[in-house]
Amino acid sequence: MQTRDTRLRTPDRSAASSRPTAIKAAGAIIVITVTAVAALLPLTAQAARTLPAFDRVHVRAQADVTGDGIDDSILLVGHPYSDEGLFCTTHDIVVNDGATGEQITMALGERSAGYPGTLFVGRIDGDNAIDIVVAIPTGGSGGITNPFVISFAGGKARHIIDPDTLARGAELQANPLDHFMVEVIDPERKSRFTLGLAGPGSDTDPELDYCNGIYSKSGKLVRPLDVNINDVGAVEVVPIRTTGQNELVTYQKVWAVAHANSIGAVRTVWRWTGRQLAIAAVDVTPLFTTDAYGQYIGSFDKSQPAAAVEKAAAEYEARFKLAPPYIRQAAFREFRQFHVALAAREGMSLEQRAGLADAPQPGEADEASAAYERLPELASRLNASDDYRKAGLNAVYDGEGMWTVAPRAGFSTEQFGPLLPPAAADFVSLDDRERNERWQYDAAIVVPLSELGSRVAAWDAYLAKYPDSVFADDARTHFKRALSGLLLGTSNTPHFDYDTKRVRADVVDELKAYTTDYPGTPSAEAVASALKAIEKGGNVITDTVRREINRALEKALKIDAGLV
């Protein structure tokens, strides 16, 4: 029979970073509703006076949550267990009324114990005010997240739905069946769903025979098997296109014997009925592994790129359409790696078709020159082809007369739309720009320094906004490369005169402008440190100055990695 695991496990309070994840709210708000305005706000004077110094503001956002037509500032505040680490014993939502200046606080209570959460805003209950959805991860092994849906309409704080009711979800029954199967029953909606277990010696779980002794070799259930449905583990706010309202979607994990043995996910849609937030639909789906998806699409025939991409995208939708956001994000990373590898293969094919497959031999210089001349026309023809359009590919100039192939900018967001979680959509937007609009060719910067600075700031913001994204390492690589170029230049376009080693005046001006344009960010701190080192060195790049700049670069990387 079903049991519920709602225990709050003792958290690891030794987390290294205490850096607030303030920017999380902004992306969430923008994704949820265009009517809400997101911004990072400085702590107001009133809030600064009334919040204890040791409290932590995890999220800052702005939206009209009181319903008077004037934006209010919103803070998600945690009360830390200790000065070190991220765990907080409780959280509050603090709203500073934009019209009256009054501060309204709702204490979320013991259920809000956990780590820095996320905050979404959107119209949930049908009134004029924008509502607030908060999700606080408990940090336990079950991956449980405590959700809250709150209204501040009229300046009065209230729960739109009881947090316990929301966390439990639908009343479901989970029963083991013969032949390594589990049936999940939704009595209220008269629905039944079937999930598979990994049987003894199963190829899907060769090392973990957790069904041994519970099932006979023939698949007969011979001993009781505990199948569990966790409380909510993830929350999304999804726009309803026809009404301008939003619905809430929660996800719960189904597991057997131990948390590691996930066998499915419950997806519950909550919608405002006019009187209350109630369950509109429940789906129970098998939990496909993202690794298996990656291996499967990696086996596709890549000689027909359009067919391969269409099939990979269709598989993504079929397998993960109803999966929790973190699963969809991990699965999209598999697709992205597949798409990038496919583009690289097409880039090699482009050279071969132009006649540049091998290095020119003596006496073949004219032939190589002719091949280089063929490349632009060939690239243009491919970009105009239906095959490249369907495959989401784009031939891109790569400097020194060479061309390569990259995923076409915007293709993934067009292809997957709302299936892409914000962390994936934001990453691919930035990554597309790096691949299709290069800022350097042949170790030479080919864009204005201000443009390079905007890319540094964009990656810096991404890492602050999504520190736990599966794309964080890739984003960090982009950030390091761009910040290094901004601080030091490149080997073919250094920031200093070759003869005198003096830093160019225009470079100093651009670096100063960066600290003004992007204040308070790790990259701006690195730029400020670099400027101090340059000034201390008499505007001459010496080994000592270079070491100081490299130290500033490494510190920025550590901050964005949550290590400082």
Inside any domain, residue 31: no
Give a yes or no: residue 69 inside a domain: yes
Same domain, 101 and 195: no
- Residue 536 belongs to what domain range? 439-563
17 within some domain: no
Which pLDDT value is given to residue 346?
94
How many separate domains does the chain show?
3
**Domain-located, residue 429:** no
pLDDT at 180: 84
Q: Based on the domain organization, do 182 and 133 belong to the same domain?
A: no
| pLDDT means over runs of 10, the chain (564 residues) | 35 33 31 27 38 71 94 94 86 95 95 91 90 92 90 96 94 90 92 78 47 79 90 90 87 86 91 94 87 91 94 92 89 96 92 69 63 87 95 93 93 94 94 96 92 96 89 95 94 90 94 94 94 93 92 83 52
Domain presence at residue 403: no
Other beta carbons within 10 Å of 399: 14
**What string of H, E and C letters represents the secondary structure of 88-147?**
EEEEEEEEECCCCCCEEEEECCHHHCECCCEEEEECCCCCCCCEEEEEEECCCCCCCEEE
Domain boundary among 107, 132, 161: 161
Q: What is the pLDDT of residue 561?
A: 55
Q: What is the pLDDT of residue 119?
A: 92
3-state DSSP of 450-514: HHHHHHHHHHHHHHHHCCCCCCHHHHHHHHHHHHHHHHHECCCCECECCCCCEECHHHHHHHHHH
Residues 174 and 276 in one domain: yes
Residue 407 bridge partners (DSSP): 393
Task: Note whether residue 129 is domain-resident.
Answer: yes
In order of 24, 80, 138, the CA distances from 13 in angstroms are 22, 10, 12
What kind and span of H or E run contains 415?
A: helix 411-416
Residues 281, 178 share a domain: yes
Same domain, residue pair 233 and 249:
yes
pLDDT of the residue at 361: 52
Strands 88-96 and 72-80: antiparallel
**Which of 141, 161, 181 is at the close of a domain?**
161
The pair phi, psi for residue 99, each rounded to 5°, is -90, -40
Same domain, 78 and 132: yes
φ/ψ of residue 340, rounded to 5: -65, -40
Distances (CA, A) of 183 to 172, 173, 205, 412: 10, 8, 20, 35
Let me know whether 182 and 116 are in one domain: no
One domain, residues 480 and 538:
yes
Among residues 142, 161, 180, which one ends one of the domains?
161
Contact 174, 263 (CB under 8 A): no
Residues paired with 56 in a beta bridge:
78
Residue 148 falls inside a structural domain: yes
Q: Tell me, yes or no, whether 221 and 278 share the same domain.
A: yes
1 in any annotated domain: no
Same structural domain for residues 267 and 209?
yes
Q: Quote the pLDDT of residue 364.
A: 56
Residues 187 and 140 in one domain: no
In this structure, the answer to whether residues 118 and 176 fall within a common structural domain is: no
Sheet of 191-196: strand order equals 173-177, 181-186, 191-196
- Rounded distance, CA 373 to CA 493, Å? 27
